[in-house]
Amino acid sequence: MSDVLELGNRITVALDRIRRGVEAQGKADAAESSLFDALQAERAQNAALMAQITELQSTQGAGDGDLTRRLETQAAQLQAMDGHLQRLRAATQQLRDLNGQLRHALTAGLDPALIDSALAAEVEALQALRAADAAEVDAILAELKPLVEEAAHATG
């Protein structure tokens, strides 16, 4: 009988250990499930952040490209304006030289070829001035065009 009691006690102790093990396993399963849910939430948050980074990079890249194009356009316009300005300076210098010759000719006697040359130089100076003005207007319009389009998109 003592063997039966001893076996009964051992079975009771074993059943208690099994019950505690099952409870611990349940707690571990709950903790594992909680950790898995937290991992899934972190993965979702990471994916959202990566999407935001990609969007920011594409937006920044588009802004850089637009800025580069604007700078290139402005550089080309400045170069064109410089060419017109050089032409205007040359025409003005030629006009001054011819006017000096005309003053000298007036004191010595009038030469019709000098008058023609002076008028041609004056016409050239006026054309160069007009071209410089047109280049300046083109530069101003090029700067205003993106602003007008941006305002149109903002209101539309």
* d(C-alpha 149, C-alpha 146), whole Å: 5
pTM (two decimals): 0.40
Residues in CB range of 135: below 8 A, 6 or more apart: 77, 80, 81, 84
Task: Tell me the domain boundaries of the chain.
Answer: 2-155
Residue range 26-76, pLDDT digits in tens: 676 676 777 777 778 888 888 888 888 888 777 766 566 777 787 788 888
DSSP per-residue string spanning 32-59: HHHHHHHHHHHHHHHHHHHHHHHHHHHH
Residue 110, SS3?
coil
